[in-house]
Chains A and B, each alone.
Chain A
Amino acid sequence: MTKAKEPIIIVRDVHKWYGDFHALRGISMEVMPGEVVVICGPSGSGKSTFIRTINRLEEHERGDIIVDGIRLTNDVRNIAAIRSEIGMVFQQFNLFPHLTVLQNITLAPIWVRKYPRREAERIAFELLERVKIPEQAHKYPGQLSGGQQQRVAIARALAMQPKIMLFDEPTSALDPEMIKEVLDVMRELARSGLTMLVVTHEMGFAREVADRIVFFDKGEIVEENTPEGFFQAPKTERAKQFLANILSH
């Protein structure tokens, strides 16, 4: 990374509580444009909560989050501006079951970006081509397999032409056979230079694609490392233990 580039995401000392439970305990990190960061850690460690604070699906209660130069506050205009810059892919796909694949993808470009319908549909077909399911455009999500649904969800997020993509355990709800087709799409995205934050348990994917690995435990960043460093010589005892558990089975 050259010095001329500014970080696209700056997170400083972010805290969040659920009732009395201290879910995020002072998270600080920076992400450069084009960087692919994989976030891993045991369940309940706050990693999903953390990436959901970046597009404010969760509110942080202390600290600063600055995305693309915009500080996240309660100001509704700021939130809307940031959300249209950030695409998100969920564990449960969260496609809209009452709309066709094409409508799922074109809804936000038409109503948020104010694209003409024809233009939005052109983009949608391009993206469906990119995720390799152009023939499913007029089906409903319920008629697709899990892997196809998740690829539609990726296309839907990309249709807003975001600068940043957040992936919240995108393959955790998939049958093993379908994980590969989703990871292939994500690999291709990573190569295209999109900034990506990925919460995942797919360590093979992390090792191959990530520029950096961030290890969460109990609401804190325990270790930040390169993929090689993290998998071959983890610096912390907790990370060693986690890797031993996750790689042994």
Chain B
Amino acid sequence: MTTATVPSEGTSASSVTRPVVERGVLSWLRKNLFRTPFDAAVTVILLVVGGNLLAQFLNWSITQADWRVITINFRILMQGTYPADQGARLGLSVALITLLAGISWGIWGKLYRSTAFAFLGGVLLFIFVPLAVESVPELSQDAFGKYLGNQIAPLLSLLRDPVLLLVACLLIGYGVGRFAKQVNRKRAGRYTLIAWLIAIPVCFVLVRGFTDAQGALPFVQTSRWGGLLLTFMMAFVAIVACFPLGILLALGRTSGGTHKLAFKAPPRWWLNPLQWLHALSIWWRNLGNYPIIKLLCIIYIEFLRGVPLVTVFFTANLIVPLALGDNSIDAVLRAMVALTLFEAAYIAEIVRGGLQAIPPGQLEAAKALGLSPVQATLFITLPQALRIAIPPLVGQFITMFKDTSLVAIIGLTDLLGISRAVLAQSDFIGRHREMYIFVAIVYFVFSYGMSYAARQLERSGSGALRKIG
């Protein structure tokens, strides 16, 4: 860009040394935590309060908590009452999805050193803690040893094989993705997207099976889906289905330029009932000017955003069978549809926000080139709007993932629902804390994973909007 012009005082400028920047832990502490007496006081108070809470929690978790409630019920928490002899189908689906996630990561993301260390640490933890507990029996004398031996080691050894399998799938996928990117980035990306589109229904069929199949994939009723499996299926189906529906609603709502009548308000018009009538009539005529599709989209979006999700679930669960007069539609399907319809309204508003951020000149340029409205939307405005909308969209997807826990209220046994069922058994009475902490950790791990993936997508060029000028 700039040509190498040497400033006249170049020699003296180069002899000026850059001031030394302090580095290191101590200087960081001083700068960030103890800059002023007030800062120091806040730091100390927070440390004392936080440390105390943490110590209490650890003490409880080691001496009083009984984490076996999770180890014993692990299978049911993960897959509900899905037939145990069909478990390989779930494993295969998860492996497939993880592999694809790894490939996508290899193509669009980057393996940071911190992430690699976290992986390595996790894997070592899963391998060595159970080994250590088994091989050193005298370890389990004091409270901490007992805690490790009775509570942590069984959980870790239970999780070891699946976790190792998942990490292996992820890393193999990452390697494949990197390789494919080197060969042909564009084609690799396109094929991966297509693979995702195929993999999702394939996994769905794999889990559900065929109604009349005798041998390979016998049908598993949705009432036997439960735990994390149900949570995932609900979230997955709803995310995949609500996205296109939300886009259509957003396009419907932004469609159609109509002439609006302006209400010219005289001063203090609200004091005059006649002016009220006038404003109302103009509002009504403007309403009549909306194309019908736009009006329907607005009504749909505003109505569903105006009611709580729980009421939508109740409607799907109670009123729909009543209205149809029979109970033949499966409860899980009804909940999925309800979640999809509800979230589509939110997605629509996010996409609309993205569309509004596109400068009007983009659409004008597309029109001036003779592109049809559909082409202009597909090639010009929508791709740019979706890129802008990635952060709020991912936020909404994470919300959706967590919102699936509300189906526990209408009696479905998702992760939260099944944990309540477990807690109702006499063996596990009073183990609420352990169970809910576990559930929270599971939700956190997957929500954080999604948000991490989204940040990587944004950081890579494929998510960034390339600005003009």
Contact = CB atoms under 8 A, between A and B. Distances in A.
A binds B: yes
Interface of A: 19, 55, 57, 80, 83-84, 86-88, 90, 92-98, 107-108, 111-112, 140-143, 146, 149, 153, 156-157, 160
Contacts of A141: 466, 468
26 contacts: A57-B364, A57-B367, A57-B368, A83-B368, A83-B370, A84-B370, A86-B368, A88-B368, A90-B365, A92-B359, A94-B359, A94-B361, A96-B362, A96-B379, A97-B465, A97-B466, A98-B387, A107-B371, A107-B379, A108-B370, A111-B379, A112-B370, A140-B466, A141-B468, A142-B467, A143-B466
A111 B365 CA distance: 15
B468 A97 contact: yes
B220 interface: no
A16 to B, nearest CB: 13
B372 interface: yes
Contacts of A149: 468-469
B32 interface: no
A80 B384 contact: no
A146 B262 contact: no
Q: Which of B364, B368, B379 has the most CB of A within 10 A?
A: B368
B363 to A, nearest CB: 9
Nearest to B379: A107
B174 to A, nearest CB: 27
Interface residues of B, number: 24
Contacts of B466: 97-98, 140-143
Given A94-B361, A140-B466, A141-B466, A157 B369 contact: yes
Contacts of A96: 362, 365-366, 379-380, 384
B244 interface: no
B375 interface: yes
B383 interface: yes
A141 B380 CA distance: 14
Contacts of A19: 262
A112 B371 contact: yes
B376 to A, nearest CB: 10
Nearest to B384: A98
Given A19-B262, A57-B364, A97-B384, A146 B469 contact: yes
Contacts of B379: 96, 107, 111
B468 A55 contact: no
Contacts of B368: 55, 57, 83, 86-88, 157
Given A57-B367, A83-B370, A112-B371, 7 more contacts: A55-B367, A84-B370, A86-B368, A97-B384, A108-B369, A146-B469, A149-B469
